[in-house]
Structure 1
């Protein structure tokens, strides 16, 4: 399982044995991509292949995570591993910053560069009916003078986005309270505030699902609603997915706390999930200002 160590002694650096988990996880993702590609191209069987891939991927990951948890609780992870975990989580969050930065950059470039350029005198002969306004919510004021973009209403900040902002900001506070309680050795208080945090995250997702229903049903706002619709749903949709991932991380950390895992001195699993959740909070604040208010 690892390099040989004396009984009861934490190894200087843990080296795991060769594992079948990476190749099986990659196989599950292969079926996800294969099925999704066929599904969007009109092949009904692609949906079942996608479902199979997701189930396989999730089953393999739970086994992989269970093995890592067992290694941690067995005392195989020393200070060197803790440092490597911190660097790994830091780089992972940095990659997520770049991910969202690309979509924020697309929104910025569309509004401040592409749209004015398309509405300039140089393009007047090519697009005589184009109006360089944002958001392009009405027919004739879109990047589609041919009228293939249906009129829609933009999503304002009140009330649903503001409610979600309060939910996420509150969840950041409750998570911080739970962290301080864990450091103080108060496991019961930690578990209580963690459950509150998970509940706030789940409520956020429910409110966002209702917001999407409202957008489609009442505002005719869709992914196909020009540049506004595509950037709106790409930014808020990917953020919602990250909220789901973060909420699941916090849920499993809470279940581990209930099993007696983590100590006031060693609890980076908790801290890593908390880092990720606070990152999700910060991204939402940017979305709330740029997408709903600007």
Structure 2
């Protein structure tokens, strides 16, 4: 009987592997409830139903609360309780890679819509791309400036990564400050571009493709900036070491993904998509 008891003793089993068996947590249930309130409240608000806005705000606040306490628990498990072993980190890395792959597919859909409309422009938009009614933005002003800014931020975040590997905390902090400054500058210029744009999202397929692709990229820049800011705070608080900094490393991967997506946006949408309109022969429309 004692042998059988020892065989199924969970504490005994937990010492025979490197996986992290998480404790029971209320956060997944609360996160699901907050998401339900958020979506339902948004739909009710758009249909002008009483109570929709309040449900939407309460759901949003609940989601923010769950994000804070859930990630707080993960930081405690990784930093102070040391549950994130090599095997756990390998699984986290695989999860981050799969997440970035899903993001690639997300942006692929926008590029598909863009090239579907631009390579064979239909008669509804004048059989030309960009459409004749669209006054495009100058590629070599804010878009080119933002390209240099974002590529520079990729260089500074790589500097920070190498610095933390070499256990140079001061250099890591300085490089991250440069990165956060460049990220904020990019976001400012992106907003300035939107304010001064001669067209909007309702201006046909060109406006839809432009604002959906660049707008979601801007949102990803915002999310990446928050991730790097949290990593900066954790590095200042000595939560990361030269061998244990996956949270920071995943933020760096995400930021490089944002850089690469912007290069495709600049080349295809800002530069190639803004070339002089070309007319499609009538025979090709038959």
TM range (shorter): 0.7 to 0.9
Partner residue, 2:249: 271
Q: Say whether 1:171 aligns with 2:153.
A: yes
TM-score (norm 1): 0.84
Partner residue, 1:243: 221
Larger fraction in helix: 2
Whether the 8 Å contact between 1:82 and 1:268 is mirrored in structure 2 is yes
Counterpart CA distance in 1 for 2:152 and 2:164 is: 19
1:100 to 107, 127, 137: 107
Partner residue, 2:280: none
Counterpart CA distance in 2 for 1:193 and 1:135 is: 40
Counterpart CA distance in 2 for 1:178 and 1:36 is: 40
Matches within 5 A, 1:8-23: 12-23=18-29
Q: Say whether 1:54 aligns with 2:32.
A: no
Counterpart CA distance in 1 for 2:252 and 2:173 is: 14
| Shift in CA distance, 55/10, structure 1 to aligned 2, threshold 3 Å | farther
- Unmatched segments (≥5 aa) in structure 2: 1-9, 273-286
| Shift in CA distance, 214/265, structure 1 to aligned 2, threshold 3 Å | same
| Partner SS for 1:175 | helix
Q: Say whether 1:37 aligns with 2:32.
A: no
Deviation at 1:131, TM superposition (A): 2.0
Give a deviation string over 1:9-51, Cα, whole Å, max 9, x none: 8961111022211121122122221222233334575444333
TM-score (norm 2): 0.86
Deviation at 1:87, TM superposition (A): 0.2
Counterpart CA distance in 1 for 2:256 and 2:236 is: 22
| Shift in CA distance, 175/51, structure 1 to aligned 2, threshold 3 Å | same
Matches within 5 A, 1:224-243: 224-243=202-221
Deviation at 1:265, TM superposition (A): 1.4
Partner residue, 1:112: 119
2:232 to 254, 260, 263: 254
Partner residue, 1:182: 164
Instruction: With a CA cutoff of 8 Å and minimum separation of 6, indicate the structure with the bigger relative contact order.
Output: 2
| Partner SS for 2:128 | coil
- Unmatched segments (≥5 aa) in structure 1: 120-126, 139-151
- What RMSD, in angstroms, separates the aligned Cα atoms of the two structures? 2.0
Counterpart CA distance in 2 for 1:285 and 1:10 is: 47
| Partner SS for 1:4 | helix
Partner residue, 1:83: 90
Counterpart CA distance in 1 for 2:12 and 2:176 is: 36
